A = this chain, B = another copy of it.
Amino acid sequence: MYRTKTCGELRAANIGENVTLAGWVQRVRKMGAMTFVDLRDRYGITQLVFDTETSDELFEQANQLGREYVIQACGKVRERFSKNNKIDTGDIEILVDKLTVLNKALTPPFTIEDNTDGGDDLRMKYRYLDLRRNCVRSNLELRHKMALEVRKYLDSKGFLEVETPALIGSTPEGARDFIVPSRMNPGQFYALPQSPQTLKQLLMVAGMDRYFQIVKCFRDEDLRADRQPEFTQIDCEMSFVEQDDILQTFEGMAKYLFKEVRGVDLGEQPFLRLSWHDAMKRFGSDKPDMRFGMEFVELDDTLKGTGTFGVFNEAAYIGGICAEGCASYTRKQIDELTDFVKSPQIGAKGLVYARVNEDGSVKSSVDKFYTPEVLAQLKEKMGAKAGDLILILSGDNAMKTRKQLCELRLLMGQRLGLRDKNRFALLWVVDFPMFEWSDEEQRLMAMHHPFTAPKPSDIPLLDTHPEQVCADAYDMVCNGVEVGGGSIRIHDAELQQKIFEILGFTPEEANKRFGFLMNAFKFGAPPHGGLAYGLDRWVSLFAGLDSIRDCIAFPKNNSGRDVMLDAPSIVDEKQLDELCIALNLPTE
C-alpha cells in the first residue's frame, strides 16, 4: 500500500502520528521558507507542509510540484496554526519528511474545482479529469449508494435480481432498436433491449414471483437534450398482485430511499393518486409538479359568450392560472410571458392577463370586451385576491391548450421560487388511457406498451370504443419528473392477441414478433404487473442536477458520441467481412 491513511481521515486525535499519504496536488502555496501543498484524494484534502528547517532539498522538491502531480508524502501529523473549519481535516497538517513523485502531470486543460473554467465539450473530452472534481464525483457516489439501497430494499421484500440477456431479438415497436450483427448466424442480428419487458414477464410465467434488475437499456432515438442512447433502469415485476399492491410496495421503496439516501422523511401518509384525466385537467400534464398549486381554472362558463372577445367565444377551451402577488408585473414582464407562450416550442396564439388591483378592481388586457361584472366573476372564479395576476390561454384544442398552460404554470412556479430542488412532492398518476391516436401512423398506439392490461371493467369497450379504454397503468411522478412507470400486464393469450389486433398487427406479425410470449401465456401465466424506474433521472433528482449527464460516469453527447473514447468509429474491413455486412453509405 502506498499510504497508511487517506487524505480525508486525519483529525486532531492523530496529532503526533507518523503517516504516509498519497494523492493529487490540488494547490501549492509558497510562503517564504514554507511551502504548503493541498493533497487531494477521493476522501478529502490534507495540508502538507514543507519547510527549509526540515530539509532544503525536500523544500526545493516541493516547490517543483505542479498541479495534479501524483505524490506520496511521509511525515508527522501536527496541529495547524490557523485552522480551516471548512474541511474535516482542517485541524491538522503534515510536516513532510519524505516526498516521492509517483507520476507527473501535464497542466490540466481546466481547473479541478467545483467552479471549473472548463466548458462542457472540454470536460467531456477529458472526463477522467472532470470526474476528479468533488461535485461530479459526489454524484457517482450518490448513484452507488442509491443502487445499493434499492437492492437492499427489494431483497428485503423477497425480490430476486435476475439478469436478462443483452443480446435479444429485434421487436420494432416503440423506439428504434440498436442491432448487433451475428457472425455465427450470417445475415441475422441481435437487438439490444429497450427494456427487459417481455423477459421479465417470462420470469413471472417461470414462477419467479418477484423480480428486479438494475439494467442497461438501449434506445436508438434522436437525442433530445436529456436523453442518452444507453440508460439504466430499475426494472421490477411481481406476480399475483393488483395495482394497489404495486403502488404500496414502490411507495415504500421511494420513502425508504428518500430517507436513507437523501435524509428526507416523506411521512406516513400514502402518496396522492391522481387520475390521468384529472392531472391533465388540473395541471395540463401527466407529470404535474406538485410542489406548488396554481391549478388550472376552466373559464368557459365565465368568458365564453359573456363578452365580445371573438377569440374566447370561438375557443374550445379557456383556462387560467393565478400567479400570486404578480399584479405588479411590468408591461415588459408581461411581454416576456407572451413571447414565451407564443414561442414555437409552446405554440400558443397569445396571452390574456388580468391584474387584481389593491382596491380589488380588475384591470385586464381584454377590458374592452367584458363588463366589470364579468371581470369580477373572473376574479372570483380564479380565487384571485388583491395583488394577484391572472394569466389566461385559450385554443381550439383543449388538450393542446392545457399543455401550453402547463408550460406557463411551470415558468411562473420557477419565477416565484416555488420549485425548490430540496423539496420533493411525489404522487401517482393512474388510469392512463390504453391507446392514443397517432396521426403519423394513422392508427391507435399503445400509450404505455402493448402488454399493458386494460381495466377489467373497460374490457367490453375494446370492441366498441377502444379509444375510451383505461389501462391499469401508473406513473410515479416527483417534482414534475416521471421517475417511474408501469402497469398490470395482460396474462391471457387471447386478450393479448386482441390488443395486438387493435394496434394494427396482423395475427402473423403479432406471432412473428411476440409469439414466444403469447405461447408462454398458454402454459400457466400468473396475474402480474410491475414498473420501471429511470435510475439516471432519479439520481439526478436526488442530486439536484438539471441534466442526467452529470450522474453518468461516461455520458454520450447529443450525437450519441463518446468524445473521450472517440466512439463510435470506423472498423476494419475484415471485421465487416466476418460479419457478412457492408457499408451502404448514401452517395453525395
* Chain A interface size range: 35 or more
| Besides A41-B207, A42-B209, A191-B567, 7 other A-B contacts (C-beta < 8 A) | A1-B240, A126-B523, A130-B206, A140-B160, A147-B161, A176-B578, A187-B570
A205 — nearest CB in chain B belongs to which residue?
B128
Quick check: is A264 within 8 A (CB to CB) of the other chain?
Answer: no
Contact A526 B165 (CB under 8 A): no
Write the A184-224 contact mask toward B (1 if CB under 8 angstroms, else 0): 11111111100000010011011111100000101010110
Contact A167 B229 (CB under 8 A): yes
Contact B189 A568 (CB under 8 A): yes
Quick check: is A562 within 8 A (CB to CB) of the other chain?
Answer: yes
Write the A140-156 contact mask toward B (1 if CB under 8 angstroms, else 0): 11011001100100010
Q: A228 to B578, alpha carbons, bound, how many Å?
A: 19
Quick check: is A341 within 8 A (CB to CB) of the other chain?
Answer: no
Contact A128 B553 (CB under 8 A): no
Question: Chain B residues near A187 (CB, 8 Å)?
Answer: 570, 583, 585
Question: Chain B residues near A256 (CB, 8 Å)?
Answer: none
If over half of A's interface residues share one DSSP class (helix, strand or loop), that class is named, otherwise mixed; here it is: loop
Quick check: is A108 within 8 A (CB to CB) of the other chain?
Answer: yes
A190 — nearest CB in chain B belongs to which residue?
B568
Partner of A183, one of B168, B220, B576: B220
Quick check: is A338 within 8 A (CB to CB) of the other chain?
Answer: no
Quick check: is A230 within 8 A (CB to CB) of the other chain?
Answer: yes
Contact B190 A527 (CB under 8 A): no
Quick check: is A307 within 8 A (CB to CB) of the other chain?
Answer: no
Within 8 A of B (CB), among A533-588: 552-554, 556, 559-562, 564-572, 575-586
Quick check: is A525 within 8 A (CB to CB) of the other chain?
Answer: yes
Contact B571 A170 (CB under 8 A): yes
Determine which residue in A151, A160, A172 has the highest number of CB atoms from chain B within 10 A of its CB, and name it: A160
Question: Chain B residues near A205 (CB, 8 Å)?
Answer: 128
Write the A28-63 contact mask toward B (1 if CB under 8 angstroms, else 0): 000000000000111100000000000000000000
Question: Chain B residues near A40 (CB, 8 Å)?
Answer: 207
Contact B128 A523 (CB under 8 A): yes
Question: Chain B residues near A223 (CB, 8 Å)?
Answer: 184
Evaluate whether A169 and B102 lie within 8 angstroms (CB atoms) in the complex, with A3-B240, A185-B559, A583-B187 already known: no
Q: A527 to B577, alpha carbons, bound, how many Å?
A: 40
What are 12 contact pairs spanning A and B, CB under 8 A?
A: A105-B522, A106-B523, A131-B203, A140-B160, A143-B163, A167-B567, A169-B565, A179-B180, A179-B571, A181-B181, A190-B567, A216-B216
Quick check: is A524 within 8 A (CB to CB) of the other chain?
Answer: yes
Partner of A560, one of B182, B203, B568: B182
Quick check: is A22 within 8 A (CB to CB) of the other chain?
Answer: yes
Question: Chain B residues near A170 (CB, 8 Å)?
Answer: 567, 569, 571, 575
Contact A69 B240 (CB under 8 A): no
Q: A40 to B206, alpha carbons, bound, how many Å?
A: 12
Question: Chain B residues near A525 (CB, 8 Å)?
Answer: 70, 103
Quick check: is A282 within 8 A (CB to CB) of the other chain?
Answer: no
Identify the 6 closest CB pairs spanning chains A and B, nearest first.
A105-B524, A169-B567, A131-B206, A2-B240, A188-B568, A582-B584
Write the A229-243 contact mask toward B (1 if CB under 8 angstroms, else 0): 110100000001110
Quick check: is A482 within 8 A (CB to CB) of the other chain?
Answer: no
Question: Chain B residues near A162 (CB, 8 Å)?
Answer: 140, 143-144, 553
Quick check: is A137 within 8 A (CB to CB) of the other chain?
Answer: yes
Contact B165 A562 (CB under 8 A): yes
Contact A568 B167 (CB under 8 A): yes
Question: Chain B residues near A232 (CB, 8 Å)?
Answer: 163
Quick check: is A346 within 8 A (CB to CB) of the other chain?
Answer: no
Determine which residue in A143, A178, A209 has the highest number of CB atoms from chain B within 10 A of its CB, and name it: A178
Evaluate whether A556 and B167 lie within 8 angstroms (CB atoms) in the complex, with A160-B144, A181-B179, A583-B581 already known: yes
Question: Chain B residues near A179 (CB, 8 Å)?
Answer: 180-181, 571, 575, 579
Quick check: is A24 within 8 A (CB to CB) of the other chain?
Answer: yes
Contact B567 A230 (CB under 8 A): no
Quick check: is A104 within 8 A (CB to CB) of the other chain?
Answer: yes
Question: Chain B residues near A163 (CB, 8 Å)?
Answer: 143, 216, 232, 552-553
Q: A155 to B151, alpha carbons, bound, how many Å?
A: 13
Quick check: is A166 within 8 A (CB to CB) of the other chain?
Answer: yes
Min distance, Cβ A65 to any Cβ of chain B, angstroms: 11
Min distance, Cβ A22 to any Cβ of chain B, angstroms: 5
